[in-house]
Chains A and B, each alone.
Chain A
């Protein structure tokens, strides 16, 4: 085993020991700060997003409240809780109330495992800028994400109307499929750093190089699935405005709606912080060693937040740039592209790892073997015959632009299978109704007096 790996393994234990020494007031202080990061970033992000998307679309964005409109989300945050709560009659009330809470709480917990920086002294107490240090803190973040989705799914279900239900269903399917890709991309990092502790991963990157270029496929897959996991554009299918009104939060108003908002933006913050930790070297400033003054004390917090903001800007950029995916395309991307790619990449990493761990295999040999493998794969791909495009003889005549036009003697069929089915359904229903109430089954109100007609026109 190479020396830096051994160090990466011991690093989290030292941090864990330091954290275990924390007095209660320090733990409470850290917990409060970690919990506040989510809401504060939410407030800042909403204004930032509206301003940035506005500039991308050649308009100023919010510019009324405060200097440059910077206080807009504060005004919104005050407004929202005081708005009227509308609860649909068909809602399952208990779950309807519970859903926003379930969405928010894991979103606030997730940041606990993120190492914001190294060793510092707070009021004379040496500690580490991290709330908890677990041997499996990577899993803590994943678990938080998987619980948070319950809020969306249940909110959609409990609203008791079809659009939210569709949004909830989409969200459930989306999370199940994209969590697999996300987990597989994280496994690459874990294999490479030989640690499942977030601080161990950061330490391994400080010594061996950042993983966003060492494990580029993992990084790309994580970035894509991270957007899918947080329901952000272009993957915001659970709340697709053009299809589902508001998706899962259609029936939510007032504070509960605000909580869904908070959950969404906090989740963005968490996945960005997680991406920074896993792939962008955590709080490390590049080009200097971990012992440089710029990487000591409170400086890493600044670098960490800066990297996080870059990732968050990426979220907003995506939203301003890309149109929403169609649902089947989205699923296809997840299952047929991301998951297989992640699996193949994982196999590759595991092979390289095994070869490296084995004695007497040099880097040159690995490269030669890899090169031969690539050549063989390319040669094999040449053997695959090209796809033949069938020449359709019975094609519809097209205009010069290639657009099909109807023939002059077009015959539209009188009945189609669907019409027939609908007719049969209608008949059977009429029959059933007639059986149910033979006495009341009269003639369906004949086209009657003008006064009645005038009345009933009103509700059109």
Chain B
């Protein structure tokens, strides 16, 4: 990116007939592109970094379009901004929004090496740029409507006739990389014969290969609450532990743990929704009916176990 902006500047300087509109567009888009690149480096959050990079790419694409290369500009926007950065974002979102860069140095001497190499590259770039700034023949204005002027037809002729072999080599390289990534990432999740069909799964469930033949109970939905964090109740009023999801990450973990502990501590006693009296404590002497239902519950529970 750093290489791009000064080059355009060089052309604008050498070409005396640069139009006002072009100059204005450059001085608006150029700083935006540079600012985007800098912010990309300094942003803490990885997603923010990606977005700054998107901004840089977009302004570069617009610069291309302004320089009479609309095909290149739109390809830049579609391919880089639309597809590649979207993939980046996809991965970043999978990683999680809380993950930020660690400042710990994992490899010894890494920072020193990075600094040296970075300064070296900056020097090389600066050298090349000063030469470019010193002597640049102004590019003739091209007509993008003709194949010779950077239209798709002209590009296709160059790629598929003059440089067909390098192009095919590159595509072979890319395909190798893609196939390699697929092979590395591929895991057969279930068994040797691959995914089971729905029918086979049902059979397997009844054969006892899974925890239980039926689906797990859903969360409890009552008049007082319809949260997924509310456990479902079994017929005897006790809590169905399977109804609590292990996967809800949005619930603050500590809160969830505390809630679960609270529920566990309560699991022995009957619930208000279960129309059963409390077994012990204050409710002991209340009514004989309450204890009767409690014992009934106990009986059904033991029957269930047997």
Assess the A140–B86 pair: CB atoms within 8 A.
no
State whether the Cβ of A446 lies closer than 8 Å to any Cβ in chain B: yes
Asked if A404 meets B224 with Cβ closer than 8 Å, knowing A153-B86, A176-B90, A179-B83, the reply is no
Bound CA–CA A413/B211 (angstroms): 7
State whether the Cβ of A168 lies closer than 8 Å to any Cβ in chain B: yes
State whether the Cβ of B161 lies closer than 8 Å to any Cβ in chain A: no
Within 8 A of B (CB), among A434-453: 444-451, 453
Assess the B248–A410 pair: CB atoms within 8 A.
no
Assess the A143–B82 pair: CB atoms within 8 A.
yes
Assess the A419–B250 pair: CB atoms within 8 A.
no
Assess the A135–B272 pair: CB atoms within 8 A.
no
Within 8 A of A (CB), among B72-121: 74-75, 77-78, 81-83, 86-87, 89-90, 93-94, 97
Assess the A139–B71 pair: CB atoms within 8 A.
yes
State whether the Cβ of A175 lies closer than 8 Å to any Cβ in chain B: yes
Assess the A153–B206 pair: CB atoms within 8 A.
no
Q: Which residues of B contact A95 (CB under 8 A)?
A: 47-48, 51
Chain B nearest CB from A196 CB (Å) reads: 6
State whether the Cβ of B281 lies closer than 8 Å to any Cβ in chain A: yes
Chain A nearest CB from B202 CB (Å) reads: 5
Q: Which of B45, B86, B212, B282 contacts A449 (CB 8 A)?
A: B282
Q: Which residues of A contact B268 (CB under 8 A)?
A: 447
State whether the Cβ of A292 lies closer than 8 Å to any Cβ in chain B: no
Assess the A459–B94 pair: CB atoms within 8 A.
no
Q: Which of B48, B78, B269, B271 contacts A447 (CB 8 A)?
A: B269
Assess the A444–B265 pair: CB atoms within 8 A.
yes
State whether the Cβ of B230 lies closer than 8 Å to any Cβ in chain A: yes
Q: Which residues of B contact A92 (CB under 8 A)?
A: 45, 47, 97
Asked if A410 meets B282 with Cβ closer than 8 Å, knowing A143-B74, A172-B86, the reply is no
Assess the A416–B93 pair: CB atoms within 8 A.
no
State whether the Cβ of A456 lies closer than 8 Å to any Cβ in chain B: yes
Q: Which residues of A contact B250 (CB under 8 A)?
A: 161-162
Within 8 A of B (CB), among A161-217: 161-162, 165, 168-169, 172-173, 175-176, 179, 190, 196
Number of interface residues of A (CB under 8 A): 63
Q: Which residue of A lies closest to B246 (CB)?
A: A422
Within 8 A of A (CB), among B245-288: 246, 248-250, 261-262, 264-266, 268-269, 271-273, 278, 280-283
Q: Which residue of A lies closest to B272 (CB)?
A: A457
Q: Which residues of A contact B224 (CB under 8 A)?
A: 458-460
State whether the Cβ of A160 lies closer than 8 Å to any Cβ in chain B: yes
Assess the B281–A172 pair: CB atoms within 8 A.
no
State whether the Cβ of B203 lies closer than 8 Å to any Cβ in chain A: yes
Asked if A168 meets B282 with Cβ closer than 8 Å, knowing A95-B51, A147-B81, A459-B225, the reply is no
Assess the B203–A135 pair: CB atoms within 8 A.
no
State whether the Cβ of B186 lies closer than 8 Å to any Cβ in chain A: no
Assess the A146–B83 pair: CB atoms within 8 A.
yes
Most buried by B among A412, A422, A447: A447
State whether the Cβ of A83 lies closer than 8 Å to any Cβ in chain B: no
State whether the Cβ of A32 lies closer than 8 Å to any Cβ in chain B: no
Assess the A142–B78 pair: CB atoms within 8 A.
yes
State whether the Cβ of B213 lies closer than 8 Å to any Cβ in chain A: yes
Assess the B271–A449 pair: CB atoms within 8 A.
no
Assess the B74–A140 pair: CB atoms within 8 A.
yes
Assess the B211–A453 pair: CB atoms within 8 A.
no
Q: Which of A135, A153, A405 contacts B151 (CB 8 A)?
A: A135
Assess the B81–A410 pair: CB atoms within 8 A.
no
State whether the Cβ of A364 lies closer than 8 Å to any Cβ in chain B: no
Asked if A176 meets B70 with Cβ closer than 8 Å, knowing A445-B262, A453-B266, the reply is no
Q: Which residue of B lies closest to A148 (CB)?
A: B82
Assess the A169–B93 pair: CB atoms within 8 A.
yes
State whether the Cβ of A136 lies closer than 8 Å to any Cβ in chain B: yes
Chain A nearest CB from B306 CB (Å) reads: 13
* Contact digits for B197-218, partner A, Cβ 8 Å, 1 yes 0 no: 0000011001110111100000
Q: Which residues of A contact B74 (CB under 8 A)?
A: 136, 139-140, 142-143
Q: Which residue of B lies closest to A433 (CB)?
A: B257
Assess the A157–B152 pair: CB atoms within 8 A.
no
Asked if A146 meets B82 with Cβ closer than 8 Å, knowing A135-B145, A160-B97, A453-B266, the reply is yes
Within 8 A of B (CB), among A129-164: 134-136, 139-140, 142-143, 145-147, 149-150, 153-154, 156-157, 160-162
Assess the B89–A172 pair: CB atoms within 8 A.
yes
Within 8 A of A (CB), among B159-215: 202-203, 206-208, 210-213
State whether the Cβ of A290 lies closer than 8 Å to any Cβ in chain B: no
Q: Which residues of B contact A190 (CB under 8 A)?
A: 152
Most buried by B among A135, A411, A419, A456: A135
State whether the Cβ of B54 lies closer than 8 Å to any Cβ in chain A: yes
State whether the Cβ of B220 lies closer than 8 Å to any Cβ in chain A: yes
Assess the A406–B271 pair: CB atoms within 8 A.
no
Chain A nearest CB from B182 CB (Å) reads: 12
Q: Which residue of B lies closest to A16 (CB)?
A: B145
Assess the A456–B266 pair: CB atoms within 8 A.
yes
Bound CA–CA A157/B90 (angstroms): 10
Q: Which residues of B contact A143 (CB under 8 A)?
A: 74, 77-78, 81-82
State whether the Cβ of B6 lies closer than 8 Å to any Cβ in chain A: no
Assess the B203–A447 pair: CB atoms within 8 A.
no
Q: Which of A134, A162, A418 contacts B248 (CB 8 A)?
A: A162
Q: Which residues of B contact A405 (CB under 8 A)?
A: 206
State whether the Cβ of A358 lies closer than 8 Å to any Cβ in chain B: no
Q: Which residue of B lies closest to A169 (CB)?
A: B93
Q: Which 5 A-B pairs have the closest CB atoms?
A: A146-B82, A450-B282, A139-B74, A450-B281, A143-B77
Pick 6 A–B contacts, CB within 8 A, sort by A. Answer: A136-B74, A149-B86, A153-B90, A161-B250, A172-B87, A410-B206
Interface residues of B (CB under 8 A from A): 45, 47-48, 51, 54, 58, 70-71, 74-75, 77-78, 81-83, 86-87, 89-90, 93-94, 97, 144-145, 151-152, 202-203, 206-208, 210-213, 220, 222, 224-225, 230, 246, 248-250, 261-262, 264-266, 268-269, 271-273, 278, 280-283
